[in-house]
Amino acid sequence: MSRKTIGVCIIAKNEEAMIHRCLSSVAWADQHVVCDTGSVDRTVEIARQMGAEVYLDFVWCDAFDLAQNHAKSKMKTDVIISIDCDEVMLSSEAEVRESVEQMQDVLRVNMVAEGTMLNFGFGRIFRNTPDIFWCQSIHKHLNIPGEGEPIGNIRIMYGFSPAHLNDPDRSLRMLEHTVATEENPVRNLYYLGREYGYKKRWQDCIDTLLRYVAVSEWEAEKAEAYLEIGQAYTVLGKFQEAADSFLQAIKINTNFREVLLEMAKISSDDNAKQWRRMAKTASNVGVLWDRVPTEPNRNKIIISPHSDDAVLFCGFTMIRDRPQIIEVTDSFIQPERGEVGCDAETRRNESIAACAFLGCPVTFLGIRDTELTERALRERLKNIEAETIYIPAYHENGNSQHNLVNKVCLELFPIEKIEQYCSYSRTDLMVKGSYEVKPTEAEKALKNKAMNFYVSQINLNTMASHFEYIRNKSEWLL
């Protein structure tokens, strides 16, 4: 059976700064169609130089769906990839073709924001048939409901095009017209309210989003709307109204991390601490936009007694918050016991690789685990300052070096800045704490991959069972 042919479909206007990057990312496709809607720069020239079929027969009329469907009419391939000029295909040709061969109608694409890990699912790859077409003049979508078939992990990165600055009010103009003319506007009320927020028209933002939540049945987007209503009230200094809005979002989704942090910002000190604690354990499952920081957070530190402890016991915190990792000791005990392949340099390199994979910087105090003392540790930690410091919890009969780190840190740092993560004991391997950090499936997969960097430990009979026990388990704070 022959493979499915794949084409790329683009609409463009004055995108000379972006279109080369976009087309380069999908150069392997079997057909490239660019529907230009009135460029006066080099967009058409660049697209033709790159081998694209360029069409100039569409007159722009403030309707993205009509433009996209016009471009679609030029496509001859079995499958169409719809991509914008300010986007880049991150997945390889092999990944795309493998998923396309398994799809039925519409393939889910993970849209990743450039410079962040904000992402959402969207149907962007679909069968070329008259039965599948674009709807909605702005914030267009295919007529097939849902985000598409979740086959593989196809990723497109989206960014910001300088061409948007040529008509900065276009989205607002189109949304106001759409909402005014729709018989029963729902989702476009959300988009319009959000657009008012971008323009800092806070009361218009609030009024429009309140109209939206009154008619919407999509829980994830309603929670997001309540968050944005609360943020607008906060800017206006209406903190009680803001709190009421945030609580509505929390009622919909108690794992909504960002709204918990917003509650902390407008709460008294004691209540703020508890809201932040809840945010640390919130998984963000079910949110509309999953916002994860890409830059390390220097105000959060994890003190790791040994090379693998941060990943084993705080991996989900690392995934969510990107803290600084401080590793207390280098391993000399294991080699002295005759265990092969786990020397100090090997374990240090494994740690660097695992922490880099999770996006966290790591520094080493350079203390031999055979020479760890309270005095040596106190001297090296005494000048550390951070908003939150994660330390291993004390456990009777637990690892003596974990307990020593706990003792010194409790003496050095204010208790209100300390979070104690649970480490293993000799009796039951894992002691649960008071607050569960429950992972999503995606977080489990990331942590498992990070753990796999510790080859020297996984290959030891004394450690292998411990690593297997940790996999897919929740983490705990005291």
On the question of pLDDT at 160 being above 90, the answer is no
Task: Give the 3-state secondary structure of residue 355.
Answer: helix
Let me know: does 4 contact 78? Beta carbons within 8 Å: yes
Q: In the structure encoding, which two tokens stand for residue 318, read together?
A: 């690392």
pTM above 0.85, yes or no: no
Tell me, which fold does domain 297-477 have in CATH? Rossmann fold (3.40.50)
Q: pLDDT tens for residues 345-380?
A: 999 999 999 999 998 999 999 999 999 999 999 999
Q: pLDDT tens for residues 95-129?
A: 999 999 999 999 999 888 876 656 677 889 999 99
Region 15-31 average pLDDT: 95
Cβ neighbors of 322 (< 8 A, separation 6 or more) are 293, 294, 295, 296, 297, 300, 358, 359, 360
| Sequential DSSP letters for 417-477 | GEEEEP--BTTTS----SEEEPPPHHHHHHHHHHHTT-HHHHTSHHHHHHHHHHTT--EEE
Which architecture does CATH list for 6-164? Alpha-Beta Complex (3.90)
CA distance 300 to 162: 35
On the question of pLDDT at 289 being above 80, the answer is no
Cβ neighbors of 100 (< 8 A, separation 6 or more) are 4, 6, 79, 107, 125
pLDDT value at residue 28: 96
- Residue 35 DSSP one-character state: E
pLDDT exceeding 70 applies to what percent of the chain?
96
Q: In the structure encoding, which two tokens stand for residue 267, read together?
A: 């709460």
Please name which of 88, 93, 90 lies closest in space to residue 18, comparing C-alpha atoms: 88
pLDDT value at residue 229: 97
pLDDT value at residue 429: 57
Q: Which amino acid is at 138?
A: I
Q: Quick check: do 6-164 and 297-477 share a fold?
A: no
Please name which of 456, 447, 449 lies closest in space to residue 345, comparing C-alpha atoms: 456
Region 393-420 average pLDDT: 91
pLDDT value at residue 398: 82
Q: What is the number of H-type helices and E-type strands within the chain?
A: 19, 17
- Residue 389 DSSP one-character state: E
Q: In the structure encoding, which two tokens stand for residue 336, read together?
A: 């002295």
Cβ neighbors of 421 (< 8 A, separation 6 or more) are 302, 313, 314, 317, 390, 391, 392, 393, 433, 475, 476, 477, 478
Which residue is it, tokens 């569960």? 436
Return mean pLDDT, the chain.
Answer: 90
Q: Which amino acid is at 126?
A: F
Q: Which residues pair with 323 in a beta bridge?
A: 297
Please name which of 2, 4, 5, 62 lies closest in space to residue 33, comparing C-alpha atoms: 5
- Superfamily for domain range 168-281: Tetratricopeptide repeat domain (1.25.40.10)
245: exposed, middle or buried (Cβ count in 10 Å: 0-12, 13-18, 19+): buried
Which residue is it, tokens 């999770």? 358
pLDDT class for 457, splitting at 50, 70, 90? Answer: very high
Q: In the structure encoding, which two tokens stand for residue 457, read together?
A: 């430990």
pLDDT class for 293, splitting at 50, 70, 90? Answer: low
Which residue is it, tokens 């396309």? 100
Region 65-73 average pLDDT: 94
CA atoms within 13 A on the CB side of 186: 8
Q: In the structure encoding, which two tokens stand for residue 72, read together?
A: 């679609």
178 φ/ψ sector (left φ>0, alpha ψ -120 to 50, else beta): alpha
pLDDT value at residue 427: 56
pLDDT value at residue 195: 93
Domain boundaries along the sequence of the chain:
6-164, 168-281, 297-477
Q: In the structure encoding, which two tokens stand for residue 71, read together?
A: 């471009």
